[in-house]
Amino acid sequence: MKAIIACAGTGGHINPGIAIANKIREEEKLSEILFIGTERGLENDLVPRAGYNLKTIEAYGLSKKISIDNLKKIIKTFRGLSQAKKIIKEFNPDIVIGTGGYICGAVIVAAHRLKIPTMLHESNSYPGKAVKLLARITDTVMVSFEDAISRIPKAKNIVLTGTPTRVLKKELNLSEKIALKEKYKLNPAKPTILIFGGSQGAKKINDAVIDLAELKLNKNYEILLSCGQKQYDEIKNDLKEKKLGIDKLDGIKIVPYIYELQEVMSASEILVCRSGAITITEIANLGKPSILVPLPNVSHNHQQYNAEVLEKVGAAKIIQNEEMSANLLHETIEEMLIKCDLEKMGENAKKVSVKDAQEKIYVEIQKLLKRK
């Protein structure tokens, strides 16, 4: 099989694309896979690191505002369409798959005009306008959450596949959990609250934890905060000004990054984090109770809709970003520890987990190729 995968921007778009490529390569050793992205996104690091070739085109998100800058972006985006068409003609793929980012518009339209079979994967519960528009010409649209199906009414063919991710259900026994907590100098006798905001961190959440540390509110639980590489030194200085040492906080351990995140998520009693599509998928796969803080000002408020997927089944509490504070975070944690059945919340989270996403996607690829 020869396949082109279009993705750009963030890991939430790129990692599912890489996971799909890996599955194709696993099933078909002689397959040829080419990625198309932009020159600006994380794809320039992640795709070559995963062992795949990447070609870039010009593509931009367009604002409704009339401006010289937006006009320039429109012209460049049209240029990107012709660039995509040229790449597709030269590579001559059997199929073109888009997994997110502005890049998908140009690549899917170009493939459609060249009569190449096309697929789109939408990770979010609330699809963006681009996906809704492209769904009309895309042969198969794959979604991560059932909620998304009714939100793409004009799709020619829509299938629930889940999102391919590296984090699957992994049970840790008691001794493994204790050893992991002790590694981070946490008290295994107390519940562990894992707080993370992705590789970049989440400043609003980090600030709440710093205030919580200063107020010494966490007497009944321990906190492990993965604050992000870029924010670690800033937090260290903030704590120093408060006469607090970053390595001497009572019941709170702050680290720049957690490499064995799946294992630490499994060992923790409650997760506090943003609600990106990949994160929601990982929480569901692991079956963990969570406190979700949707990132505001993102396209179509999709992190709010993602968070509601877990909230609706009784697996999560939501704190709005503008409301996040040390006291509210503490009160929510205490309420969950005292009043909620955390095991039941974890089981509820599993209800939205879609197993074997890679396999389901590969099956849909085969079905489409047979139809064509």
What pLDDT, in 10s, does the model give residues 74-118? 556 667 899 999 999 999 999 999 998 788 999 999 999 999 999
Kindly report, residue by residue over 217-230, the tens digit of the pLDDT: 999 999 999 998 88
Q: Which CATH number fits domain 174-350: 3.40.50.2000, 3.40.50.720, 2.130.10.10, 3.40.50.1820?
A: 3.40.50.2000
Instruction: Please give the share of the chain, as a percent, with pLDDT higher than 90.
Output: 77
What is the rounded average pLDDT for all residues in the chain? 91
Kindly report, residue by residue over 339-349, the tens digit of the pLDDT: 999 999 999 99
State phi, psi for 287 to the nearest 5 degrees: 70, 60
CA–CA distances in Å: residue 362 to residues 116, 138, 165, 299, 366: 17, 17, 14, 28, 6
H or E, element range at 122: strand 118-122
The pLDDT, as a whole number, for residue 298 is 73
User: How many angstroms from the chain centroid is the CA of residue 89?
Assistant: 32
Residues of the chain with CATH 3.40.50.2000: 2-163+355-371, 174-350
- Cα dihedral 103/106/107/110 (nearest 10): 180
Instruction: Please give the share of the chain, as a percent, with pLDDT higher than 70.
Output: 93
What is the CATH superfamily name and number for domain 2-163+355-371? Glycogen Phosphorylase B; (3.40.50.2000)
Kindly report, residue by residue over 141-178, the tens digit of the pLDDT: 999 999 999 999 999 999 999 998 865 556 788 999 99
Kindly report, residue by residue over 44-85, the tens digit of the pLDDT: 999 999 999 999 998 765 455 555 555 565 556 667 899 999
